[in-house]
A and B are shown apart, each in its own frame.
Chain A
Amino acid sequence: MLDVQHLKKQYATQKAVDDISLSVKKGSIFGLLGPNGAGKSSLLRMITGITLPDAGTIRLHGEPFDLIKHSPLIGYMPEERGLYKKMKVGEQALYLGQLKGLSKIDTLRNIKYWFDKLDMQSWKNKKVEDLSKGMSQKLQFVITILHDPALLILDEPFSGLDPVNSAVIKDEIYALAQKGTTIIFSTHRMEQVEEICREIALVNKGKLILHGSVAAIKEDFKQNMFQLEVDQAIQGYEKNIIAQEGHHYTLRFENNEEATNLLSYCLAQQLKIKTYSEILPSLNDIFIRLVEGDNGGVRQFDSN
């Protein structure tokens, strides 16, 4: 669906995006992670055609990106939400929908569909400035998906949303992906990514550090940590125990084989095993580990 090769973008003093290549499959939910200022928004702006890359190519459906041709295929919700404050909700949705190339009738039909679905009918004649922050977030989301984009790009979609509305939007994201919409969303909140995304890319300081499916990445970064809960103390594994709380152990092994051996040991000793499971690292852990190993993760300004 989307294929990005060697994308570069330099602002006055810093490389915002430095040689990033990635591809996103149709119908997948793709998470773009990175700390604040990592270059996520700059990357997304290039993918949406808002800014031009200094170097590299963006291909959509195998064709080189072209704003006029591909803009109707893309729905983009920027991190900084933007709506005309003095404009009425209904008029605003109509205007922005039409700007995406939808006919007036189609726009009105889609507005009705989404406003009904998300219980927003009563907002139509309100001005945007009268909406609460959460409400305008929801409106922004609806406006973004109004033209039924094939590629939906959401920059921090859940910031500022309460749990109820977060859940509503999350459901819609799932439903859209189910229908074949490709979704890219950026965030610095790992638990959301873990929950929603199948594939991720991790960027820091403009560089791509990690790219792949969530399961594979977790597998790559696992540290052979296990937790065990038994009814008696275990012997002979002192060097593996990292933490212990009564008969509840956290252990680390050199490899998987050792972990299997522990299980045999427990069975041989006729210990009663309550739980025995591998502790997979959370994306948050991986993220922090990778980012912190790299100068604390904060982008430093060049001295010149």
Chain B
Amino acid sequence: MNKIWLIIQREYISRVKKKSFLVTTLLIPILMFGLIATMAYMAAKSEQKEAIAVIDESGVFINKMDTSSSSYTITYIADDTHENYTTLLEKNKCDILLHIYPFRNGLPDSVNIYKDGGVSLSAKEFISDDMNTIYQIKQMQDEGIDKDKIDSINNSSIRLKSFDLKNNQETSSEIATMIGYVTGFLIYLVILIYGMGVMRGVMEEKTNRIAEVIISSVRPFQLMMGKIVGIALVGLTQFLLWLILTGSLQFLLPLFIPELRQAMHPSSAADMDAMSKVPTSELAGIFNSLSNQHWSLILSCFLFYFLGGYFLYAAMFAAVGSLVNEDQQEAQQMTIPITMPIILGFFIMTSAIKDPNSTLAIFGSMFPLTSPIVMMARIPYGVPAWQIAISMLLLVAGFVLMTWLSAKIYRTGILMYGKKASWKEVIKWMRYR
């Protein structure tokens, strides 16, 4: 026990001390932060308004168009002089010209939009939506419906709420999708990145021939497990640091981009107007649903499947690492049988998010090689306790079995130099005492 602890320590410290660890640990949050910041900055910048000049010959739309938009301003102009459109736009310092012709038989004869270099889709959409609304109101008014009534009709909408019968709580499938996807994806990444790390570590020990020195002091199993546990701790450390770093950088974001301050704090006065358009109950619903998620269940399951999945695959990666000689290409080839189920798990996960109770999703969340990834996609939707229990039991059993088999392969493989072992031989090694 003391020796395995020494091995864990060495694996952990030698990795954490590496410059590459420091670089990735610092760089990834900074890159992510940079990406978010750039995106936010672009979004903030693009709020530069386009000016729309409106020539309304019908008289239906004048002074009625939506001026609350954050992207467009509206100017009404008269077309007395019949100048050409370009001169008109320049004269009025506008970007887009909207020409509405007089009505004929209750419909505008034609409505045209002009712009240098073509009209963007969003501008066209904005104008068409706005005009339709105004036109519908006009028609309703023509039918003799009260303006107040029309307003109240317009502001009414149906909001769907979904409930989980068993827990008697409101649920949100959007949130569930998000949580499922993020956690499943994280586990997928962890298995691949750190599993490969284990494999490289084993290969290093084998090609350096240090394995032989160490195995004369400790059992091969101790060396293998020490490495797996040590790298798991490195992974956990890195995650923790990423969490802390991204968390703290998030707070810095508004300092760099003042425009974002409004967006991030919607309560500020300037945006009150825009905010009021979003029914507050919807926002509250999202927050409500976030807090309604069974966080303790999700977190404990995440930790369980995170570690279970990692340990299951790390043992297999270690076995493969022990089979490989110096050849990198060979390593890539030999990892295929391991990476296939991981990728399969990822695909099942994406479908499980859409349909968490399909047969495929249930199977995927039970089968130990895919369950760490797939189960996380199902948990936010609520999974019967017996299914979680079976899945966890199978994962533990799979882990024990895989580690046992891997240790046997590892024990022989790590001392085999030179020739490439065939799968037939490897199966024979598993039967060794």
Residues of chain A whose beta carbon lies under 8 Å from any beta carbon of chain B: 12, 45, 48-52, 67-68, 71, 74, 76-78, 80-87, 95-96, 98-101, 143
Contact = CB atoms under 8 A, between A and B. Distances in A.
Interface string B194-217: 000000000011001111111111
B211 A96 contact: no
B207 to A, nearest CB: 9
Nearest to B3: A99
A96 B208 contact: no
Interface in B208-243: 208-219
B217 A96 contact: yes
Contacts of A74: 216
A71 B217 contact: yes
A78 B433 contact: no
Given A99-B3, A99-B6, A71 B216 contact: yes
Given A49-B216, A99-B217, A82 B415 contact: no
B208 A83 contact: yes
A95 B6 contact: yes
B415 A100 contact: no
A84 B209 CA distance: 9
A84 B213 CA distance: 11
Residue among A76, A84, A86 having the largest count of chain B Cβ atoms under 10 Å: A84
A52 B6 CA distance: 24
Nearest to B414: A50
B208 A82 contact: yes
22 contacts: A45-B212, A49-B216, A51-B415, A52-B433, A74-B216, A76-B213, A76-B216, A78-B209, A78-B212, A78-B213, A80-B417, A82-B208, A84-B14, A84-B210, A95-B6, A96-B213, A96-B214, A99-B3, A99-B6, A99-B7, A100-B217, A101-B3
A76 B415 CA distance: 15
Given A50-B216, A87-B14, 20 more contacts: A12-B425, A48-B216, A50-B215, A50-B415, A51-B415, A68-B219, A74-B216, A76-B216, A80-B417, A81-B209, A83-B208, A84-B14, A84-B204, A84-B208, A96-B214, A96-B217, A99-B3, A99-B7, A100-B217, A101-B3
B408 to A, nearest CB: 12
Nearest to B211: A82
B432 to A, nearest CB: 8
B226 to A, nearest CB: 10
B7 to A, nearest CB: 8
B10 interface: yes
Contacts of A99: 3, 6-7, 214, 217-218
Given A78-B209, A96-B214, A86 B14 contact: yes
Contacts of B7: 99
Nearest 7 interchain pairs by C-beta: A82-B209, A82-B210, A80-B209, A76-B216, A99-B217, A78-B212, A48-B216
Contact of B212 (A12, A80, A100): A80
B219 A67 contact: yes
Q: Quick one: which of B10, B14, B204, B216 has the most chain A CB within 10 A?
A: B216
Contact of B6 (A49, A71, A98): A98
B203 to A, nearest CB: 13
Contacts of A67: 219
A51 B215 CA distance: 9
Contacts of B208: 82-85
B212 A50 contact: yes
Nearest to A97: B217
A95 to B, nearest CB: 6
Contacts of B425: 12
Contacts of A78: 209, 212-213, 216
Contact of B213 (A51, A82, A98): A82
A52 B412 CA distance: 10
A67 to B, nearest CB: 6
Contacts of B217: 71, 96, 99-101
A51 B415 CA distance: 9
A81 B208 CA distance: 8
Contacts of B205: 82
B111 to A, nearest CB: 72
A277 to B, nearest CB: 45
A178 to B, nearest CB: 24
Contacts of B415: 45, 50-51
Interface string B1-25: 0010011001000100000000000
Contacts of A12: 425, 428
B214 to A, nearest CB: 6
Nearest to A42: B415
Interface string B135-157: 00000000000000000000000
A222 B330 CA distance: 53
Nearest to A85: B208
Nearest to B226: A99
Given A45-B415, A99-B218, A83 B210 contact: yes
